[in-house]
Amino acid sequence: MSDATTHPGSTVVKASSYGWFHRNRIKLAPWLFLAPALIFFAIYVVIPIFQSIWISFYEWNGLDNADGSSSAVWVGLRHYFDLLDDDRFYTSLKNNVLWLVLFMLAVPIGLGIALFLNQTVTGIRIYKSLFFFPFVISQVVVGLIFSWFYNPNFGIVGQVWEFFGAVPPAILADEDLVTYGIIFAGLWPQIAYCMILYLTGLNNVAPDQIEAGRLDGAKGWKMLWYVVLPQLWPATFLAIVVTVIGALRSFDMIAIMTQGGPYGSSNVLSYYMYETALSEYGYRYGYGSAIAVVLFAIMMIFISFFLWKMWRDERGS
């Protein structure tokens, strides 16, 4: 009797709890799988973005008072107005634009080298790897190599100049040359990156279309422009994205080669922000954060574009 009453009941309970989990399993599971990554990402990436925006409204040197309370003072939008009147901010912004524009050279040059190397002669694989080499090396090392290269007393550039009987220019000490010098150094690994993107892209170009193009009498530049490049669009897109991001993230090279000097003329927003907020002459968290917000806003333009394109592709598939 007791058995008969409890047993069906317990099976009902069991079945429904199993059923609840079973029914919601598909809904719950993604959250469980996502949880670790989301929590980590939220703590170290998503929330700090909003915190930075918030800090940019304060004047704060990072110190707490003796009782542990923060010494930050609300200043509203003042830092943003100060930026409008800050020569060094404009210099940095101008250099950022220069970086963006000149860094784009990595895309066509990378394509050029990829076309040059896209052959099947013996040993070409090793050539491809060696051409890619600079990308694998840390930017710190690239920066050091080129600082030494440019050194007018010991460097190769100096030697070449002296060979022609001229007085070598001190590229990194000359406000008109310094940014070009650093960008040139930065291009080296970036070209390698674009090259590898195009090399893989060229592998995927449909041979029948090329042949069809050949039959139509297209060759050389025409073939490249009308047949090959459209098919390389995914590679080009990716090359542009990584190059824009590389240009806006330029920090390592500047920190190593010039520290923004001489007198701030090679500064860019990423380094100016660091210098303002953390270096020996800095500790202006609020102002630094305002610079970071501006950089973030610029980057958001490109990020939005990238996301929009991804979204469109997702719709398409």
Partner 1 sequence: MKSLLKTTFTGAVALAMMTSASFASELIITYDDLNPGPKAAFEAAVEKFKGENPDINVTVNNNDREAHKTAIRNFLTADAPDVTTWYAGNRMRPFVDAGLFADVSDVWEAEGFSKTLASTKPSMTVDGKQYGVPYTYYQWGVYYRKDIFDKLGLSEPKTWDEFIAASKTINESGVKPFTIGTKFLWPAAGVFDYLNLRQNGYDFHNQLTAGEVKYTDQRVRDTFARWQELLDAGGWVDNHATMDWQEGMSLFINGEAAMYVMGNFAVGSMRDGGLTEEQIDFFQFPVINPDIANAEEAPTDTWHMPTNAKNPENAKKWLAFVAREDVQTEWNEALGQLPINSNSTVGDDKFIQQGFATLNAAAGIAQFYDRDAPAEMAKAGMEGFQEFMVKPERLDAILERLDKVQERVYK
Partner 2 sequence: MFPAPIERSSPSAQIAYKVALPIALVIWLLPLLAIFMTSIRPAMDINSGNVFGWPSSFQLLENYSAVFTQSRAGTYMLNSVLVTVPTMIVSVALACLAGYALAIYRDFKWALPLFFLFVAGNFVPFQILMVPVRDLSVRTDTYDTILGLVLFHSAFQTGFCTLFMRNFIKALPYELVESARIEGVGEFKIFWYLVLPLVRPAIAALAVLVFTFIWNDFFWATVLIQGDDRLPITAGVRALNGQFVSQWQLVSAASLLAAMPPVLMFFLMQKHFIAGLTLGATKG
Q: What are phi and psi of 62, to 5 degrees?
A: 85, -5
Nearer to partner 1, 68 or 207 (CB): 68
Q: Which is nearer to partner 2, 64 or 175 (CB)?
A: 64
The listed partner (partner 1, partner 2, none) that binds 68, CB under 5 to 8 Å by sort, is: partner 1
Counting residues that bind partner 2 (by CB under 8 A) gives 104
Pick the closest to residue 111 from 224, 223, 214 (CA basis).
Answer: 224
Partner from partner 1, partner 2, none contacting 226, C-beta within 5 to 8 A by type: none
- Phi first, then psi, for residue 9 (nearest 5°) are -55, -50
Residue 16: CB minimum distance to partner 2, A: 18
Closer of 13 and 310 to partner 2 (Cβ)? 310
CA-CA-CA-CA dihedral for 226, 306, 241, 314, to nearest 10: -60
Question: Which range touches partner 2 (CB under 8 A), out of 72-80, 85-93, 175-183, 249-257?
Answer: 249-257
13 lies in the site for partner 2, by CB under 8 A: no
Give the span between the Cα atoms of 269 and 295, in whole angstroms. Answer: 7
Positions touching partner 1 (CB under 8 A) are: 61-66, 68, 71, 82, 85, 87-88, 150-153, 170, 172-173, 175, 258-259, 261-264, 275, 280-284
Q: Does 138 bind partner 2 (CB under 8 A)?
A: yes
Closest approach of partner 2 to the CB of residue 69, in Å: 14
- Min dist CB 27 to partner 2, Å, is 8
Among 83, 132, 236, 260, indicate the residue that binds partner 2 (CB under 8 A): 132
Q: x/- contact string, 71-110, with partner 2 (CB under 8 A)?
A: ----------------------------------------
CB 86 within 8 A of CB 294: no
Binding part of the chain for partner 2, among 7-15, 86-94, 171-179, 291-299 by CB under 8 A, reads 291-299
Nearer to partner 1, 147 or 236 (CB): 147
CB closer to partner 2 out of 131 and 265: 131
* Nearest distance, CB of residue 36 and partner 1, angstroms: 22
| Closest separation in Å from C-beta 42 to partner 1 | 23
Smaller CB separation from partner 2, 6 or 200: 200
Kindly give, in sequence order, each residue whose CB lies less than 8 Å from that of residue 209, ignoring residues fewer than 6 positions away: 227, 231
Span of 4-12, 37-45, 79-87, 173-181 interacting with partner 2 by CB under 8 A: 37-45
Does residue 171 contact residue 181 with C-beta atoms inside 8 Å?
yes
Looking up tokens 């830092």 gives: 79
Task: Name the segment binding partner 2 (CB under 8 A); options: 12-20, 71-79, 116-124, 175-183.
Answer: 116-124
